[in-house]
Each structure stands twice: as C-alpha cells, then as structure tokens.
Structure 1
C-alpha cells in the first residue's frame, strides 16, 4: 500500500458528533465500607481525555490533519475543560454551540488495580433544539467548501435528529464531499445518502435484524443493510476477523486483520472512522482507505485505554518486512508514555535486556519466566554497536532490526526497544519498571539498575 503520509498535513476534515469527556479515576481498594457492602476506593490519580467524537478528532490531529469540530455542549466547568482539550490540540471549535440547559457529556471510570469498579455517566439523550440544529446546518453550509471530508460520529446523545442528518448529508452531496458515518441505534435509514456507514458486527446485526453467528449470516446482514439503506458503501468492522466492504454490483470485499495481541478495544471504532476519512481525504480509493483504517484499528487495540496512533506506527505497520510485529517495536519516548499509563492503571511492568544475538532456549526461558512475574514485558535490545563492544568485532551475527523482529514474534513479549552503548541505565531510569530481570549468569551486584 503506497501512502504519502506527508499529504495528511494538507487534509481538512470536519467532525460532527457527540463530543464528551472521558475521566479516569485510579485508586486502591483495601477495605469494605462500614456504611454498606461496597468497596472503598482511595484515589491515587485522575486524568481526563477527549471521548466520543472527540476521540475521532484526537486521532486525526495525531496524524497531522487540520480539524474542525461541530456539536452542542453545555456550559460550566466540564464545557470549559472540553474546550481546553480541543484548543490544546489546535482544533477549530467555532462549530461548537454551548447550551446552558444541556450537560456536557462526561463518563467517569473508576479503576482499582486491574478492575473496572464503576462507571458514572453524566449525559442527556434529549434531542437538541431546532434552533441549535439550524445553527449547525448554517455552519456546515458556510464552511463546507473548505473541507475535504465530513465525518459523523453518532453516540446516540441526541445530537443527530433525522432532520439534522438529512440537511447535513444533503449539503455534503451538493458539494460533492464524501460523508462517512459511524452509526448508532437500530434505524440506519436516517443515514440515507451518506457515502458510507461503518457499523461493527454487533451494530450491524441489530440494525439488520439478523443474528450473526457465522460467515453466511454476516454476509446476509451486510447485504441487507446495503440494500435497505441508500448509501454508497457499508463497511462492517469484525474485530479479529477484519472488515468487509459491501458495495453496489460487487462481491463483498474482505480485508483481513493482522493477528495482534489485544489489550483494549476502547475507541477502536473512532480510529477506524478517523483513518478511513483521512484516507479518503488524501484521494485514496474507498478500499485503500478501508485497508489503511483496518491497519490503524489493529494498532490501537494493542494499546491500553482509549489511544491514538502516530504516523510512524502506521508507516511501520505497513512495511512488509515488519507487518503485524511493528506495533510491539517502540521508541523510548513512546515507552515512557506507555509505562506511565500502565503504572497508573495498577499494572506490573517487567523489563529485561540483552543482545539476543542467536536466540537460544535460555533466552526463551528467561523471557517466559519474566512475563509471568507481571502484566507487561518490555525487552530492551542492544544495537549493533553495543553488541560489537560487548561481544567482539565479528558480532553481531544477526543485525539489530532482525533481532527486534525475532523478539517481537514471541508471545511473551509485549514491547521491544533498541538502545545504544552505555544507555541502558538511562532506559531503566526513564521507564522505571516494577521488576527488572536478568539471566542466571548475572549476580545481584552485576545487574545494572537494581
């Protein structure tokens, strides 16, 4: 797949949808409340990020696109936080309308250790007023010429009335703009006229009224949606089974997913919508854009929590020499952010390091035993110059990129990174793993970073 990633900088995309705040409260549970048989969570850390359609925006900005967002939000502290999060990303927020009678949607997740204890939703599903709908349509009409693609992210919070959808889709079609919808609910006919809808398998099953239990029922459900709803394409996302494109006059087009370790599926649909739209904005065909979105979705499910991806991650995942192993290979700066998040979520991070020049059974046992000591295993691999300094001028036998790929292929390994001569101490201090492991040929006194 030939993708000019520099063209992402030229893409201007409008995201219309249910924007919200995702709040995370991490804590520890040590006792049961004397007031009721419930856990007492002692708060350790909290954080907030963009959720819903805001996560679509976050993904697009991370890839370099220029984004405008349109929605209806509330007033007060939550609205101010939402605006700050958008402004920090450099997003155009002139399409956001504030309504003092409407809450800003906020989902608070309380986590203790590895457990998701509780979720609190502050929201309304009441339809927005006709006056606010008219203002949104006016904004779309006035600005449509400046956008390459329009993305609609429907979370069922009352933004998308049938009238608003009809008018926005009509404006896009009159201006020959692609408009892609991540749908919600049972009535997909309200999205009539869109370029494409992107339901997941469960959503497609419910909307089509067909239980998807095998490949035949999946095809039947997808074809029913396509024939019942006047859209150009239906892109059904099927998790580990990849995607299927349904379009007029052609057999269903299957896009296989790379086999990946899944940590969290939160926000994967947002990433698919974002990258599909970005691909279309660059001039790629729908199938090319869908294939790119499939790769992107596969990367983010390998991360913990709602996450974005970078151009570099996408580029590496498309390299035929790396394929599905690329998401495991991280820079030190990437791993610093990952380990911070893992520690905040109560996960135990284990790290080991070595040359791994000619992998042998001792290495396999070390890595397997290391993974059993925690939740996530990071392996730091010496670069070629470091191996040469340690092993002699005729080493390494296997070059660094090949050694990274070999280590990445092991199920026990979650992430790998390359480090240079004399930099191991810096890597350990930066990542601050809970547990540091070494082979039996080391003693406690000789282990760096103990």
Structure 2
C-alpha cells in the first residue's frame, strides 16, 4: 500500500462516533473599558460563532479525511439541540444515530473573547449518566447501524454521561458480534470499562490516573512500562496507543512496540489534538496498516493541528503532503 492508496482507502470507510457531543460557542468583541458595576471588562459584542465540539469534532476530522460518518449520542429537545443537528447536517455527518430526550440538556461551552483573549467560559451541561430508557434507545439504533455495515466504532468519552459502564459493555459485545473494530479515547470515570477493545488510546495523564500510578516518562521509563502492563492486564486491548505530548507517542500490540518521537513545531493550541489523533488512528486501523505506520500518521496529524489556534480538523492534503515529505511508509 502507498500513501496515495491509503488516503483513497480512507474515503471508503464507514465510521460510527459514539460519545459526548457539544457546541463550542464564541462571543467575540472589543474591550475598551472596565464596568462601573464591578471590576470586570465590558465586551462590546461584535459576533457569535458556533462550532461542533467534543465527539462531534472527531466526526469532523473523519469527514475531512473523506470517511462516511454517523454520530451516535443523546442530546436534548432544546433549541441548542436544533443548532447541533444543523451543524452536523451542514458537515454531511449523519444524525441517524442521535437520540433526543426531553430529560437531557444539550452541552454548550460558551467562550467570551475580548481583544483576542479569552475572558470567561460559561458551561451549560448535564453530566449525570443517561437513563436506562435513553441507553436502550441508543443501543437499539446502534445495533441497526452496525447491522447495516461499518468499519469501526469510536468511543469518544468526555465524562458527560452518554458512555455509561453498562452501555460500553453492551456496545463492545455488539461490535464483536458484527465484526466491527473499536477504538477508545477514554476519560477517568469509566477508564477500565473498555475491556477487549481493538485500540485503547489514553494520553499520559489519563494513563497515570487510570491505573493509579505516577509516571514520569522521561525519567522513569520502567514505571511507564509497568503502567502499560497493568493497563493490558485489566483492559486487554489488542493495541495500546499512548500519546506522550512533547515525547511523541507509544504503541504496542502482541507482536511489537514502538516509540515515535514528536516533530518540532510551533505550538499554538493543543485543543482538539486528541480528537485528531483518534480519528487518524481509527482510519489507519480500518485500512489495515502496520501499527508503526498508524502511530506515525496519528502522531503527525496531532502535531499539525497544534499549529492552529482553536479546535480545527486535520486537512487531508496537508497530512498527505507532510507524510510524503517525511517518507512515512505504509
């Protein structure tokens, strides 16, 4: 397989993204004075922007790389849900796996920006676990999606209540039944619940908290190795893939393990880099490339998006050009 055929193969993949979606809203304006009512800046409002965030940003990355994507989640029956559905449909992300519940609030994170600086963030969210009826409805829709055929399912967890321990277990059973690959971008609450998935991708901090071990990758590599062994003994994934920030990434399966160094970059914003990494890793996994190629491509993609301010999706052409320049082999 060449890079050219790999990127063409991305366009044939059908991916389900299951997890917590949110709207990232931005209120932007100028600050020229301080309020007489309290020692706070007055923002002279100029525009409002709404973007897809959370698990929906993973879907955006997959769409950007040419894949066909279905979003699976639970949102509210509020006006924010209407905005969410509109944003997804504008990006050609299927909403057929979305459950709307009057018991649920759609998550919105609103950032107030004045003179190009974030002054405040206001979160509208509900983080308790979804109800049994919501879980059953989501599971029913998911089984129909899996029956109709897909290549991989991504668990994208932001601790907002969609990915309950029981749902995780039931979905993993279903994916095995329908022979669908599973990849995980975990959070602490249900970190050890993703048993026997295909690929498990924590960052170093999540790994440390998840297995309850202090890890200094640079100074104590043996401790890192012990943490990986502990994780494997509990979760038993086919592949462990850990992002290590400035130290690159680590990947291991039964046959081999690799440490891929980070590329030198001018970092503007690390927000959303994990979303990009799991998206590229999943597509590479579905394409059947070697794990060292998967790690190299995902590591490269995560670095590229860090050069942009704000949460952005990876551009397929930019990733292809850099991979070609670096001589990444498939």
Could you say whether these structures have the same fold, taking a TM-score greater than 0.5 normalized by the shorter chain as the test?
Answer: yes
Cα deviation, residue 27, structure 1: 1.8
Name the TM-score, length of structure 2 as normaliser: 0.93
- Residue 237 in structure 1 maps to residue 247 in structure 2: no
1:18 maps to 20
Pairing 1:20-419 to 2, within 5 Å after superposition: 20-145=22-147, 146-215=149-218, 216=221, 217-248=223-254, 250=256, 252-320=257-325
Contact 1:316 1:322 in 2 (8 A): no
Cα deviation, residue 187, structure 1: 4.2
Change (3 A) 1:164 1:259: same
Higher mean C-alpha deviation, range 93-102 or range 50-59:
93-102
1:381 maps to none
**Cα deviations by residue, 1:177-212 (Å, 9 ceiling, x for unpaired):** 210010001542211121121111111111121222
Distance 2:326 2:292 in 1: 22
SS in 1 for 2:213: coil
Q: Root-mean-square deviation (CA), in Å?
A: 1.7
User: Which runs of 5 or more structure 1 residues have no equivalent in the other structure?
Assistant: 324-450
Cα deviation, residue 152, structure 1: 0.8
Distance 1:94 1:214 in 2: 42
User: Which runs of 5 or more structure 2 residues have no equivalent in the other structure?
Assistant: none
Distance 2:146 2:236 in 1: 22
**Cα deviations by residue, 1:297-347 (Å, 9 ceiling, x for unpaired):** 111001111001222101111123699xxxxxxxxxxxxxxxxxxxxxxxx
Distance 1:15 1:66 in 2: 11
1:9 maps to 11
Distance 1:186 1:212 in 2: 19
SS in 2 for 1:6: helix
Name the TM-score, length of structure 1 as normaliser: 0.69
1:388 maps to none
Cα deviation, residue 6, structure 1: 1.5
Larger Rg: 1
Change (3 A) 1:214 1:278: closer
Contact 2:113 2:120 in 1 (8 A): yes
Contact 2:251 2:291 in 1 (8 A): no
Contact 2:248 2:259 in 1 (8 A): yes
Distance 1:292 1:163 in 2: 33
Distance 1:173 1:125 in 2: 28
Across the two proteins, how many residue pairs are aligned to each other? 322
**Cα deviations by residue, 1:30-77 (Å, 9 ceiling, x for unpaired):** 222111122212212221110000000011111111111110001121
Cα deviation, residue 220, structure 1: 2.9
Contact 1:69 1:92 in 2 (8 A): yes
Change (3 A) 1:218 1:28: farther
Distance 1:46 1:241 in 2: 37
